[in-house]
Amino acid sequence: MQDDRELVMNRIREALAPLPERAAYPEWDPQLPVCRAHPDFADDWELFSYKMKQVNGTPLTGLDALGAWLKEQGGVLGYCDPALVDELRAHPAFAGLTLETTFDRDRRDDYAFGITRATGAIAETGTVILSDAETSSRLAALAPWTHVALLHRERLYPDTVSAIQHFGDDPSIIWATGPSKTADVEGILIEGVHGPGIQVCCLAD
Structure confidence by residue, pLDDT tens digits, 104-125: 999 999 999 999 999 999 999 9
Report CA 34 to chain centroid distance, whole Å.
Answer: 25
Which residues 6+ apart lie within 8 Å of 159 measured at CB?
33, 35, 122, 123, 124
DSSP code, position 94: G
| pTM, to two decimals | 0.81
pLDDT tens, residue by residue, 15-68: 877 777 777 777 767 666 666 667 788 899 999 999 999 999 999 999 999 999
Pairing of strands 198-203, 146-151: parallel
Closest by CA to 44, choosing from 179, 153, 199, is: 153
How far is residue 26's CA from residue 20's CA, in Å, rounded to a whole number? 19
Contact 33, 161 (CB under 8 A): yes
Q: What pLDDT score does 35 carry?
A: 62
CB-neighbour burial class of residue 91 (10 A; exposed 0-12, middle 13-18, buried 19+): middle
How far is residue 60's CA from residue 55's CA, in Å, rounded to a whole number? 15
Sheet holding 127-131, edge to edge: 156-157, 120-122, 127-131, 173-176
pLDDT tens, residue by residue, 123-180: 999 999 999 899 999 999 999 999 999 999 999 999 988 898 888 888 789 999 999 8
Closest by CA to 141, choosing from 149, 151, 133, 129, is: 149
What sign for the dihedral angle of Cα 140, 182, 26, 161? negative
Rg of the chain on CA atoms, in Å: 18
Which DSSP string do the residues of 13-69 spell out, in sequence order?
HHHHSPPSSPPPPPP--TTSS--PPPTT-SSHHHHHHHHHHHTT-EEEESHHHHHHH
User: Interior CA angle at 169 toward 165 and 175, to 5°?
Assistant: 65
pLDDT tens, residue by residue, 173-203: 999 999 988 887 778 888 877 889 999 999 9
Domains annotated for the chain, with CATH where assigned, are 43-203 (3.40.50.10420)
